[in-house]
Structure 1
């Protein structure tokens, strides 16, 4: 395993970098790859962003970034399956014009088609590993495609893990250690702080209750069902709390039904997607991460730390322990343990001082995950691959 150099790309014209994504679904992984692509471009690379599906996905999507040369796998607005032959031809055409190809995700058709086209043209191929490989493959990939994904994972020219905790998964599939790299991706702390000011300052509870905030796509991965069970235990023990749950996804109806069944209807705000997330995080009494697994510990966890908000997080694979520095910056609880999570919330409600002391370390810890440094490290790796 190696750490890409942070000394910056070499002088001269930058490489032609093709970033391949399946669709513009609004999620943390896509936001990371878009942000890195913009930064690579600022560093001198000639970046093209190729999106296979030219169709609005189910659920929220991100608009194409006007600062990037964004292309579509198919000129026709249709799902990937119906446009696959044309998409494959277009991927090959774009790869022929690239010096290096980067898959923004460790799963999906973008990874498979990008790798096939790169192999056909002899172009170096890099994958950003943003989540636990076995869990991501099981959650997001049809069974028939899993062997093909594993074959690609062990043959890429480089895998860049966004957190050290992801390395073992990559090594386990058989990729040689000298092709595995780590770049701790992060957030633009100053931009997050500025967003709060632009949104009129922190958004705080007006009910007098201790406000918990959680955020993420409403999927099984995020463990919001565990959080609701824990919230019910807190209320039963006398905790006067409320929860703002930010996000949308396929678990929405089931989670709403669970909240009603637990008698939490008046205490849980299913806020959906919001424009003032940073203000909500800054105004929260406590941020809670209940995930079953993560990539770099969830970017929203770093955002909460940036605002100095106290944090309780499930000690899930692969990042919260790394981000919270073994519990120095926030409290860690076992995964999928509603009682342990409830106990941590109750402890905060009864005496918030210990966790608030930890939270004062949060802004400095968030700055340890410097996104520009990560972009430079990866840009250096891409430049090295094109010279081999």
Structure 2
């Protein structure tokens, strides 16, 4: 059976890492050999690596040698384009410093296919194949909106502003380019100048066979043990500006003026001090808890009255799918991109304008008062299952099939 390598930075507790581990699980179940290539084998999801997968830690080389290798691999035709990989290799951290190790891996192991995730890993995958001169098929995956990531970095993100030209050149050499939503695909095409027809859409493999068992495990917070009288609202994600948890706190403060409720924000990140200060200043400290990263959020989703996604932008919005699969009602900002695709424009949960606390609180109150049936929500979540996604990945990666967009069927 073919050997498939998956290249990601580490086992951090984000949606992209979860998706890659689910793909590894699905490939192994079909009899493929799987290598997980990382620049660091650390992170909250390290314990979720399938036992049959082989972890390969790519050693870092020196900054100068990595820059020269990237320069050679890019095969650029003008001095400005030549300078860009040099700049990136200097500033982008571990991924490009692992380029030499990735070249050695491809030359020695010669996997049939390589799937990369994250822009710097994607570029490294293309450059490494060129340098190793192997026939490995390469698939590049985009899990978030490139233009929004660049904008979020601001003036401090010089290397991110150099990415679009590099991506426009490098991604064209891939055997397949996959985006996790229509919005991500459209944004990648416009931002990097890639032909839109080259970018496939494959929704994330979010729902796995173990989800039901995980949802049945003991509740991860005491509030969820007796949330019948006082409904518990949950949110989940890294505590970073993209998720706009301040919006959720302002909306929840409005909800609390209308009825009893509690809010759990699951996740960790640099914005914790600001969020805790805002919580206390709004006078909702007794009803809002930030318990940190939870390895099994499904047990919370299965018991919560509602999940809220308050993001300014998303790639897809895996947490919405996870909550639906647990039968949990959802409310989301209609942010680019993903929520409107998942919720089919509002059929499976209310969508509200981004950054509108009044609209978000009103939608929360309506949903708490009249939630959609749990069976209907579970049915929608099941459409984002592992088998469907794995089949499409393998079709694109190994069979060389004609491009076909695969989306969940309508219920």
TM class, shorter-length = 0.7 to 0.9
The correspondence for 2:124, drawn from 110, 113, 129, is 113
Q: Is residue 2:178 matched to residue 1:160?
A: yes
Aligned equivalent of 1:169: 187
Q: Which has the higher helix share?
A: 2
Would the alpha carbon gap of residues 29 and 84 (structure 1) be closer, same or farther in structure 2, given more than 3 Å must change? closer
| Superposed structure 1 runs of 4+ greater than 6 Å apart | 80-86
The correspondence for 2:27, drawn from 25, 36, 40, is 40
Would the alpha carbon gap of residues 195 and 53 (structure 1) be closer, same or farther in structure 2, given more than 3 Å must change? closer
CA-to-aligned-CA distance 1:201-230 (integer Å, 9 cap, x gap): 993445832211111111111111100011
Name whichever of 80-89 and 129-138 sits farther off: 80-89
1:369 and 1:62 map into 2 onto residues whose CA distance is 24
Unaligned runs of 5+ in 1: 1-12
1:327 and 1:280 map into 2 onto residues whose CA distance is 23
1:124 and 1:138 map into 2 onto residues whose CA distance is 32
8 Å Cα contact 2:251-2:358 kept in structure 1? yes
2:36 and 2:116 map into 1 onto residues whose CA distance is 10
Name whichever of 196-205 and 168-177 sits farther off: 196-205
Would the alpha carbon gap of residues 82 and 261 (structure 1) be closer, same or farther in structure 2, given more than 3 Å must change? closer
Aligned equivalent of 1:372: 387
Q: CA deviation at 1:360?
A: 4.1
Residues 243-322 of structure 1 aligned to structure 2 (within 5 Å): 243-296=263-316, 298-322=317-341
The count of aligned residue pairs is: 359
8 Å Cα contact 2:122-2:141 kept in structure 1? no
1:162 and 1:100 map into 2 onto residues whose CA distance is 19
The alignment yields a C-alpha RMSD, in angstroms, of 2.8
Aligned equivalent of 1:241: 261
Would the alpha carbon gap of residues 207 and 322 (structure 1) be closer, same or farther in structure 2, given more than 3 Å must change? closer
Q: Is residue 2:230 matched to residue 1:209?
A: yes
TM-score (norm 1): 0.84
Aligned equivalent of 2:246: 225
Q: Is residue 2:144 matched to residue 1:131?
A: yes
Give 3-state SS (helix, strand or coil) of 1:266's partner: helix
2:150 and 2:125 map into 1 onto residues whose CA distance is 17
| Structure ranking higher on relative contact order (CA contacts 8 Å, 6+ apart) | 1
Give 3-state SS (helix, strand or coil) of 2:37's partner: strand
Give 3-state SS (helix, strand or coil) of 1:208's partner: coil
8 Å Cα contact 2:331-2:349 kept in structure 1? yes
TM-score (norm 2): 0.79
